[in-house]
Amino acid sequence: MYLCADFKKLSLNFSITPFLSFPLAVCQKFQVLEDQTVAHVLQEQEIQQHLSANKLKSLGVRLNLELARKLQEQEDERSRQLQWKLHKYM
C-alpha cells in the first residue's frame, strides 16, 4: 500500500515515464482487488449479522409461542374447573 502511494506521488510530481506506468498499473489493480476483498468481507459480516438476528427472532417467537400455549392451557383448565363447579351446584 505504501509503495503504491509512493508511485502515485511520483506520478503527480513528474510526467509518467514508461518505467513508472507498469508499477502504477499493478498497484491500481491490487487496490481494486483489496477494495473488492474488503467489500466482500463487509458483505459477509452483514449477512452473518442478519442471520444471527433472524435466528434470535425465531427463537424468541418459538419461546413466546410455547409460553402462550402453556398460558392458554392453564386458562382452559381454570375455565373447565369453574364450569364443573357451576354445573355441580346447579
Over the stretch 35-47, which tens digit does the pLDDT of each residue have?
999 999 999 999 9
Which residue's entry shows cell 383448565?
A: 77
Which residue range(s) make up the domain with 50? 2-89
Whole-angstrom Cα distance, residue 15 to residue 21? 10
From residue 35, alpha-carbon distances to 1, 7, 40, 48, 77 in Å are: 12, 18, 8, 20, 63
Decide if pLDDT at 26 tops 50. yes
SS3 of residue 47 by DSSP: helix
Stretch among 16-20, 42-46, 70-74 having the lowest mean pLDDT: 16-20
Identity of residue 29: K
Give how many domains the chain has, as a whole number: 1
Which residue's entry shows cell 413466546?
A: 64
